[in-house]
Amino acid sequence: MNGTVSQRFELVEIRLPVLMTFAGLVAGLLAGMLLAGGSAIDSVLTVTAPVGTLWLRALQMTIIPLVASLLVLGIVQLAGAAQAGAAARRMLLLVFGVLIASGLVTVIAMPLLLQVFPIPEAASAFLANVPEGEQQVPGVGDFITSLVAPNIIAAATETAMLPLTIFFALFAIAITRLPESQADTLLRLFHALANAMLMLIGWVLWLAPIGVFALALGVAARAGGGAFTALAHYILVVSAMGGFVLIGAYLLAWFAGKVTPLRFARAMIPAQAVAISTQSSLASLPAMLDSAGRLGLRQRTAEFVLPLAVAIFRATSPAMNMAVALYVAHLAGVDLTPTQLAAGIAVALIISIGSVSLPGSISFVVSIGPIAIAMGVPIEPLALLVAVEMLPDIMRTLANVTMNVAVTSAVDRVGEEHV
């Protein structure tokens, strides 16, 4: 096939009980608060703790096979896009620049923000399911040699996410160099694996109201009403990192697209309104095309760049996913080294390609789990935090949609200069 894959694979659509999960969280917190300090709490926790742990383990077991399949399909799609012409290559350069900057901003800003607004003490109750034991921090030499796993099966057993991510990224690139018949066979395999794993994680997440209720009850029994404060703090801090991406979109449109911030803001109002109401970049695509028209961008540029951006680009992924991992690391008292932060950014960048267009809850697990594992950060708190993802997801969609149009304006401007 020599470099391109023409066949487009569609993943199964999974509809998740997001509101029910949120209701399970609130109900669990309220029940825990009512039972806290009473004689019945120990008996209740004897039943609910194993239920929560079982659901958490079911969530964890889906991460590696789902990430592997989505990563292969996403990178193959990206490789195909890179051969679509000069405009596609300019767009991809911008996309990678934005994604890298997105992760770096969070690495710098998140610790500063947590110093100014410390995590409430009640949030320590989120760590109840985290196994005790000190994390082994590799040196620079060990980190470099760990990038390549001599045994990929052993790496999966040890959940060594960075070498696994690198392996499957290289595997996907190798697929694009195969003859078309062989590439299609492998892609059909990974497509089927991805759909099967999406159905499996969909079943697990359908049980999220029960699992989250059980976990939240234990958290509230230890933290009391402070659990609500802790979750509110988490939502605001993580959403703030998405806010930086949103601001970056206006700056990109201004400096690269030559569109003044006021004009850009006015043109973006319809698309942003749809983004907030639907929390879906795909559903916002018609409104994004309308905003591009209001900005006077060339129709052929907008009709090419915006659908491609919806398919392969999620600007907030490195910023907000790294923010969640850094929040949990700070909460758990994990001091991250530069090599661990570099590993997190690398995984965040690659994983963002494979998690585009997934429902928020699935994307949360698929994207942040590997980042946390690669950085040596506990992933157990993610099982509870997924219940409130619907709120930060508003900022994710708002910033993603705005950045998509900003990138379109920059590509259109550069295209004009090359005409």
Q: Is residue 29 part of a domain?
A: no
Q: Is residue 353 part of a domain?
A: yes
**CATH number of the structural domain spanning residue 142:** 1.10.3860
pLDDT band at 17 (very low <50, low <70, confident <90, very high): confident
Q: How many domains does the chain have?
A: 1
pLDDT band at 327 (very low <50, low <70, confident <90, very high): very high
**217 is written with which tokens?**
């009850």
Q: Is residue 14 part of a domain?
A: no
Those residues with Cβ within 8 angstroms of residue 201's Cβ, 6 or more apart along the chain or in another chain: 14, 59, 62, 66, 362, 365
- Tens digit of each residue's pLDDT (9 = 90 or more) over 399-417: 999 999 999 999 999 866 5
Chain mean pLDDT for the chain? 88
The pLDDT, as a whole number, for residue 2 is 44
Q: State the DSSP string of 70-96.
A: HHHHHHHHHHHHHTS-HHHHHHHHHHH
pLDDT at 150 over 60: yes
pLDDT at 137 over 70: no
Q: Is residue 36 part of a domain?
A: no
Q: Is residue 280 part of a domain?
A: yes
- Tens digit of each residue's pLDDT (9 = 90 or more) over 227-281: 899 999 999 999 999 999 999 999 999 999 999 999 999 999 999 999 999 888 9
Helix ranges, 130-179 (H): 140-145, 152-157, 161-175
- pTM for the structure as a whole: 0.88
> Which range is most confident: 82-86, 202-206, 322-326?
322-326
Q: Is residue 228 part of a domain?
A: yes
Q: Name the residue range of residue 307's domain.
A: 47-417
The answer to whether residues 220 and 29 touch, using CB atoms and an 8 Å cutoff, is yes
Position with higher pLDDT, 135 vs 384 = 384
Q: Is residue 18 part of a domain?
A: no
Q: State the DSSP string of 18-65.
A: HHHHHHHHHHHHHHHHHHTTSTTHHHHHHHHHHHHHHHHHHHHTTHHH
Residue 356 sits at φ, ψ, to 5 deg, of -65, 140
Q: Is residue 2 part of a domain?
A: no
Mean pLDDT in residue range 193-212: 91
Mean pLDDT in residue range 125-135: 67
